[in-house]
Structure formats: structure tokens, C-alpha cells
């Protein structure tokens, strides 16, 4: 099994936007590797969140990589604007398009890392044919749309199978998990082969958010 360094990517979906710069500075001080931005259109998922101006604002606050998760239909409509605003990577859902390979290639052509996400009920077969076209595979461990949801236990086996798929394909793509990531779930995900962890509520609702980033990293460090 491929073992990559651990990355912690705080999701600003759970941040206090009245003091966004301070929240992002806190993540940097805590040792965050990426900043994760959830973009929702109210159609692909039942919530509405951020657009280009927020990504631009985050970029002006930090030089950390900005990991943008597009939970939208017609994701191709956003690529140029978000890349120009400062996104480092753009992750689209396999369920949101019938032209997955084309869109992943387009993302790369803009100088961004190309990612594909799959929902809990979506088979890994949906990404089997594009492993050469991705820099990141995101396994959703909750149904997308809202922060603070409980981790779906069956996701562990799916993460394990995703790791196997990437290894068998000789893909160097990162394996990211998002949803319910906390101290009591992160080690299981790491043992299953994940290397990048999105955490929102676990960090921003903690009594000491910067320290919580380190606690999550420490909790994921003990390998099976």
C-alpha cells in the first residue's frame, strides 16, 4: 500500500466569516497543509455556499494551497473563474457530469490539480477509467451538503478499495476523505490508505482550534 505524508485541510465551511483572515491565519499557525473550500450550488446538494469572490478572498489571506470542492452541476462553468481567483486544485463530482475525463483534462490545462469526488453510494467503478487523469480522489464519508455530519462507518472499506485502485493503476493521486473526520475516525481512514483529511467542525468548534489541527495529525500518525 502506498503511504504518503499526512495532510490536514481545514474546511472553511465551518469558519466564522466575520473574521475570515483570522480563521485562516489560525489554520496556518496550527500547521494546516491546505485550505478546503466547499462550493455548493443548491442543486447538486441542498445547500448554497461560496463563489469566486470567496476564493479570491481566501487567496488574499494565505499562500497555502486552496483545495476547491465543487458540489455543483455543470462544474465546467466555474473552472476558469475559480482558477483565476487562486484555486490550486478543483475537484468535481463523478455524479455531476457525463464528460468526466474531458473536464479533468480541462482543469489540468488551467494549471490546477484535477480531482474527482464520489458520494457514499457511488461505486469506485465510476472513476476506474480516469485514474491517469486525476491528481486527487476524494471519497465522501458523509452525504455532501452540510457540515457536522456523522462519519459513515462503511466508508472505511471503500477507502481501502480506493487505495487499492490507485495502487493497481500506478496512480500518484492523493486519496482524500471528507465528512465526519475527527480524532476518533481519522486513524481508521489513515490505516485504510487515505493521506489527505478534510476537517471542518472538528477544528473550528474545538476549544483550541490551532492545537486541534496538530491533534488530528497526531491521531492519524499511528499506522497499523
Q: Cα 133 vs. chain centroid, distance in angstroms?
A: 17
- Separation of alpha carbons 172 and 206, rounded Å: 33
- 15 burial (CB, 10 Å; 0-12 / 13-18 / 19+) is buried
38 is catalytic: yes
Q: Out of 133, 174, 178, 195, pick the active-site residue.
A: 178
Who contacts 124 (Cβ-Cβ below 8 Å, separation ≥6)? 118, 158, 161, 162, 165
Q: Could you tell me if 147 and 14 are in contact, meaning their C-beta atoms sit under 8 angstroms apart?
A: yes
Burial 130-144 (b: 16+ CB within 10 A, else e): bbebbbbbbbbbbeb
**How many C-beta neighbours within 10 Å does residue 180 have?**
24
Q: Out of 33, 38, 135, 195, pick the active-site residue.
A: 38
Instruction: List the Cα angle 100/195/86 in 5-degree steps.
Output: 55
22 is catalytic: no
**How many C-beta neighbours within 10 Å does residue 48 have?**
11
Task: Name the residues annotated as catalytic.
Answer: 38, 178
Amino acid at each position: 500500500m502506498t503511504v504518503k505524508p499526512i495532510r490536514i485541510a481545514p474546511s472553511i465551511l465551518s469558519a466564522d466569516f466575520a473574521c475570515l483572515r483570522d480563521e485562516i491565519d489560525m489554520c496556518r499557525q496550527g500547521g494546516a497543509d491546505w485550505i478546503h473550500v466547499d462550493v455548493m450550488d443548491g442543486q447538486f446538494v441542498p445547500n448554497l455556499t461560496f463563489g469566486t469572490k470567496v476564493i479570491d478572498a481566501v487567496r488574499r489571506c494565505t499562500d497555502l494551497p486552496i483545495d476547491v470542492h465543487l458540489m455543483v452541476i455543470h462544474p465546467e462553468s466555474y473552472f476558469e473563474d475559480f482558477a483565476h481567483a487562486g484555486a490550486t486544485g478543483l475537484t468535481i463530482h463523478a455524479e455531476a457530469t457525463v464528460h468526466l475525463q474531458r473536464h479533468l483534462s480541462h482543469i489540468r490545462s488551467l494549471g490546477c490539480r484535477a480531482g474527482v469526488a464520489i458520494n457514499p453510494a457511488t461505486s469506485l467503478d465510476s472513476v476506474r477509467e480516469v485514474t491517469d487523469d486525476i491528481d486527487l480522489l476524494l471519497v465522501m464519508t458523509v452525504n455532501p451538503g452540510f457540515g457536522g455530519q456523522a462519519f459513515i462507518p462503511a466508508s472505511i472499506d471503500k477507502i481501502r478499495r480506493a487505495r487499492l485502485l490507485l495502487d493497481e493503476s500506478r496512480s500518484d493521486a492523493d486519496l482524500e476523505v471528507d465528512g465526519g473526520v475527527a480524532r476518533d475516525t481519522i486513524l481508521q481512514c489513515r490505516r485504510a490508505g487515505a493521506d489527505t483529511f478534510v476537517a471542518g467542525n472538528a477544528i473550528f468548534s474545538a476549544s483550541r482550534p490551532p492545537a486541534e489541527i496538530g491533534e488530528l495529525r497526531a491521531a492519524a500518525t499511528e499506522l497499523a
